[in-house]
Amino acid sequence: MQKTLVVVGNGMVGHRLVAAVRERDRAGEWRVVVFGEEARPAYDRVALTSYVDDWDAGRLALAEHDRDVEVRLGDPVVSIDRAACTVTSASGAVLGYDALVLATGSYPFVPPVPGHDLPGCHVYRTIDDLDGIRDYASRIRRGRRAALVVGGGLLGLEAAKALRDLGLSPHVVELAPWLMPLQVDAGGGALLRRLITDLDVTVHAGTGTKAIERDGERLVAKLGNGTELDVDLVVFAAGVRPRDSLAAAAGLALGERGGVVVDSACRTDDPHVWAVGECACVGGRVHGLVAPGYAMAEVVADRLLGGTATFAEADTATKLKLLGVDVASFGDAHARAEGALEVVLNDAVSGSYKKLVLSDDASTLLGGVLVGDASAYAALRPLVGRPVPVDPVGLLAGAEPAGTLPADAQVCSCHAVTRAAVDGAIAEGCADVPALKACTKAGTGCGSCVPMLKRLLGEAGVVQSKALCEHFTQSRVELFEIVRTTGVRTFSDLVARHGTGRGCDVCKPAVASMLASTGGGHVLDGEQAALQDTNDHFLANLQRNGTYSVVPRIPGGEITPHRLMVIAQVAQDYGLYTKITGGQRIDLFGARVEDLPAIWRRLVDAGFESGHAYGKALRTVKSCVGSTWCRYGVQDSVRMAIELELRYRGLRSPHKIKAGVSGCARECAEARGKDFGVIATEHGWNLYVAGNGGFTPRHAQLLVSDVDSATLVRLIDRFLMFYVRTADRLQRTSAWLESLDGGLDHLREVIVDDTLGVCADLEAAMARHVESYSDEWRGVLDDPDKLARFTSFVNAPGAPDPTVTFREERGQRVPVLLGVPEVVG
Amino acid sequence: MTVVCALSDLLPDRGAAALLPSGEQVALFRTGAGEVFALSNIDPFSRAAVLSRGIVGDLDGVPVVASPMHKQHFDLRTGTCVEDRAVSVRVYRVRVEAGQVVVAA
Ligand code: SRM
Ligand SMILES: Cc1cc2nc3c(=O)[nH]c(=O)nc-3n(C[C@H](O)[C@H](O)[C@H](O)COP(=O)(O)OP(=O)(O)OC[C@H]3O[C@@H](n4cnc5c(N)ncnc54)[C@H](O)[C@@H]3O)c2cc1C
Ligand code: SF4
Ligand code: FES
Interface predicted TM-score (ipTM) of this complex, two decimals: 0.73
DSSP 8-state symbol, A804:
-
The helix (run of H) or strand (run of E) holding residue A565 is: helix A561-574
Say if the Cβ atoms of A546 and B14 lie within 8 Å.
Answer: no
Residue A362 counted as domain residue: yes
Residue A469 counted as domain residue: no
* CATH code of residue A744: 3.30.413.10
A660 and A768 together in one domain: yes
A522 and A541 together in one domain: no
DSSP string computed for A14-31? HHHHHHHHHHH-TT--EE
Terminal-residue alpha carbon distance, chain A: 61
Predicted local confidence at residue A494, as pLDDT: 93
- Tell how far CA A803 is from the center of its chain: 48
State the average pLDDT over residues B13-28: 93
User: Cα of A245 to ligand 2 centre, how many Å?
Assistant: 16
Q: Please give the Cα distance from A762 to A74 (Å, whole number).
A: 51
A541 and A526 together in one domain: no
Backbone angles phi, psi at B53, to 5 degrees: -95, 10
**Chain mean pLDDT for chain A:** 90
* CATH code of residue A164: 3.50.50.60
**Taking CA atoms, what residue in B is nearest to A492?**
B32
Predicted local confidence at residue A214, as pLDDT: 92
Residue A728 counted as domain residue: yes
Please say which residue of A199, A221, A238 terminates a domain. Answer: A238
Least confident of A459-463, A525-529, A557-561, B81-85: A459-463
Tens-place pLDDT, residues A437-454: 878 888 877 777 777 888
Of B19, B45, B56, the CB nearest to A795: B19
Answer left, alpha or beta for residue A108, where phi above 0 means left and psi between -120 and 50 means alpha.
Answer: beta
A133 and A276 together in one domain: no
Residues 6+ apart with CB under 8 A from A675: A657, A658, A659, A689, A690, A691, A692, A700, A732, A733, A734
A188 and A278 together in one domain: no
Predicted local confidence at residue A463, as pLDDT: 62
Predicted local confidence at residue A824, as pLDDT: 44
Query: Does A216 score more than 90 pLDDT?
Result: no
Please say which residue of A181, A215, A238 terminates a domain. Answer: A238
Residue A470 counted as domain residue: no
A48 and A132 together in one domain: no
Predicted local confidence at residue A819, as pLDDT: 59
Domains of chain B: 2-103 (2.102.10.10)
Please give the residue that has the higher pLDDT: either A603 or A388. A603
A542 and A420 together in one domain: no
DSSP 8-state symbol, A659:
E
Predicted local confidence at residue A204, as pLDDT: 94
* A508 contacts chain B (CB < 8 A): yes
State the average pLDDT over residues A204-223: 91
A702 and A779 together in one domain: no
CA A21 to chain B, closest CA, distance in angstroms equals 44
Residue A149 counted as domain residue: yes
Helix, strand, coil percentages, rounded to 5, for chain A: 35, 25, 45
Query: Does A712 score more than 80 pLDDT?
Result: yes
Mutate to test the interface with B, among A471, A490, A494, A502 (most CBs of B within 10 A): A502
Predicted local confidence at residue A444, as pLDDT: 75
Predicted local confidence at residue A301, as pLDDT: 96
Q: Which residues of A touch B87 (CB under 8 A)?
A: 821, 823-824
Predicted local confidence at residue A66, as pLDDT: 87
Predicted local confidence at residue A403, as pLDDT: 56
Q: Percent of chain B, pLDDT > 70?
A: 100
Is there a contact between A24 and A17 (Cβ–Cβ < 8 Å)? no
User: What is the tally of structural domains in chain A?
Assistant: 7
Predicted local confidence at residue A488, as pLDDT: 87
* A509 contacts chain B (CB < 8 A): yes
Residue A309 counted as domain residue: no
Say if the Cβ atoms of B48 and A793 lie within 8 Å.
Answer: no
State the average pLDDT over residues A5-16: 97
Please say which residue of A304, A325, A349 terminates a domain. Answer: A304
What are residue A353's DSSP bridge partners? Answer: A346, A371
* Band of pLDDT at residue A401, cut at 50, 70 and 90: low
Say if the Cβ atoms of A504 and B47 lie within 8 Å.
Answer: no
pTM of the predicted protein model: 0.58
State the average pLDDT over residues B68-91: 93
Q: Please give the Cα distance from A506 to A514 (Å, whole number).
A: 13
Query: Does A402 score more than 70 pLDDT?
Result: no
- Count Cβ–Cβ pairs < 8 Å, chain A vs chain B: 121
Predicted local confidence at residue A94, as pLDDT: 96
Q: Which of A271-285, A326-340, A426-440 has the highest average model confidence (pLDDT)?
A: A271-285
Q: How far is CA A182 from CA A197, A315, A367, in A?
A: 20, 14, 13
A586 and A633 together in one domain: no
Nearest ligand, CA A412: 4
E strands, A206-279, in order: 209-215, 218-223, 228-231, 233-236, 240-242, 260-262, 273-275
* A815 contacts chain B (CB < 8 A): no
Least confident of A287-296, A623-632, A652-661: A287-296
Q: Please give the Cα distance from A133 to A149 (Å, whole number).
A: 12
Please give the residue that has the higher pLDDT: either A329 or A591. A591
User: Cα of A105 to ligand 2 centre, how many Å?
Assistant: 5
Is there a contact between A484 and A519 (Cβ–Cβ < 8 Å)? no
A631 and A726 together in one domain: yes
* B69 contacts chain A (CB < 8 A): yes
Predicted local confidence at residue A820, as pLDDT: 47
State the average pLDDT over residues A256-271: 95
Nearest ligand, CA A627: 3
Residue A467 counted as domain residue: no
Query: Does A404 score more than 80 pLDDT?
Result: no
Predicted local confidence at residue B34, as pLDDT: 86
Residue A755: strand, helix, or coil:
coil
Residue A310 counted as domain residue: no
Predicted local confidence at residue A823, as pLDDT: 44
* A339 contacts chain B (CB < 8 A): no
* Band of pLDDT at residue A143, cut at 50, 70 and 90: low
State the average pLDDT over residues B8-32: 92
Say if the Cβ atoms of B66 and A505 lie within 8 Å.
Answer: yes
Predicted local confidence at residue A399, as pLDDT: 53
Say if the Cβ atoms of B48 and A470 lie within 8 Å.
Answer: no
State the average pLDDT over residues A64-79: 93
Least confident of A52-56, A313-317, A336-340, A547-551: A313-317
* B103 contacts chain A (CB < 8 A): no
Q: Percent of chain A, pLDDT > 70?
A: 96
* Band of pLDDT at residue A170, cut at 50, 70 and 90: very high
Domain span at residue A224 reads 121-238
Tens-place pLDDT, residues A742-788: 788 889 999 999 988 899 999 999 999 999 999 999 999 999 989 98
User: Cα of A290 to ligand 2 centre, how many Å?
Assistant: 8
* Band of pLDDT at residue A382, cut at 50, 70 and 90: confident
A417 and A438 together in one domain: yes
DSSP 8-state symbol, A454:
H
A622 and A765 together in one domain: yes
Predicted local confidence at residue A349, as pLDDT: 77
CA B33 to chain A, closest CA, distance in angstroms equals 9
Q: Which residues of A touch B59 (CB under 8 A)?
A: 470, 504
Nearest ligand, CA A441: 4
* B28 contacts chain A (CB < 8 A): yes
Question: Which contacts (CB < 8 Å, 24+ apart) does range A595-601 have?
Answer: A596/A538, A596/A539, A596/A540, A596/A548, A596/A550, A596/A790, A597/A780, A597/A781, A597/A787, A597/A790, A598/A574, A599/A550, A599/A570, A599/A574, A600/A539, A600/A550, A600/A777, A600/A780, A600/A781, A601/A781
